Amino acid sequence: MAPITPAQDLFNLSGEVALVTGASSGLGARFAEVLSAHGAKVALAARRVERISALAGRLKHAMAIELDVTKPESYEAALAAAEARLGPVTLLVNNAGVANTERFIDTTPETFRRVQETNVDAVWHLSQAFARRLIAGKRPGAIINIASVAAFVVNETPAAYAVSKAAVQQMTRAMALELARHQIRVNAIAPGFIYSEMTTDYLTSEAGKAMLKRLPQRRAGDPSDLDGTLLLLASAKASGFMTGSTVVVDGGDMLA
């Protein structure tokens, strides 16, 4: 039996190079900070260059990469830029995402396509580009997809967003099965309601406050509530035998 690994070593990400999409604010910015604080070199990818540049300047061994995830033709250049500066990328966090407010009957084809392009297509194609580079270099690695409890329940969630996150959850399983033989782990985090740039207006509205009262913990999560799950899935020492899993972090929302 293997010796016990101390917690400070279990989540030590020294030697890892992570690329985090949607890193200009909210969960993406927090993920980049947490990974950096635990030893990883981090490439922050987003469209808002001024924001990711400022954040990269505050982190150790970090860089900013302008990236619009709806443009697959830019993925190779982004991965190459990260590798040239930080080393081969070993960890991909597919965090970039968009939401919509329309209910099913009112969702236009344009809105539906916009949500799917960012939340589904980008995860698929960027993961492909990342995995191909790992396989060509015969390197192990990990993909962390950001799903949502909306993949399982749709109570307060617009249909287009729920459909996109259900796709991410199933995509995680399919990718994990195919990539396991290459020592590439693929897992997902399914957050419940978390305060972020995307959700704060709703969560602080009267409707949002009423919704929060129905949750078992009577609160929305803070981005820091995802720190431990992120580190678990990022660390090969902590989750090396874990792939195809979606970890729900929702304050009991799915129980209600």
What contacts 121, CB < 8 A, 6 or more positions away?
A: 70, 72
The number of beta carbons lying within 10 Å of the beta carbon of residue 57 is 10
| Token pair belonging to 122 | 């980008």
Contact 224, 191 (CB under 8 A): no
- The percent helix, strand, coil of the chain (3-state, each to 5) is 50, 15, 35
What contacts 139, CB < 8 A, 6 or more positions away?
A: 88, 90
| Token pair belonging to 221 | 């999560």
161 is catalytic: yes
The whole-angstrom separation of Cα 251 and Cα 256 is: 10
Got the DSSP string for 36-53? Answer: HHTT-EEEEEES-HHHHH
Residue with tokens 């995307």: 198
Contact 18, 90 (CB under 8 A): yes
Maximal CA-CA distance, the chain: 58
What contacts 215, CB < 8 A, 6 or more positions away?
A: 192, 193, 251, 252, 253, 256
What contacts 210, CB < 8 A, 6 or more positions away?
A: none
Query: Catalytic residues, which ones?
Result: 161
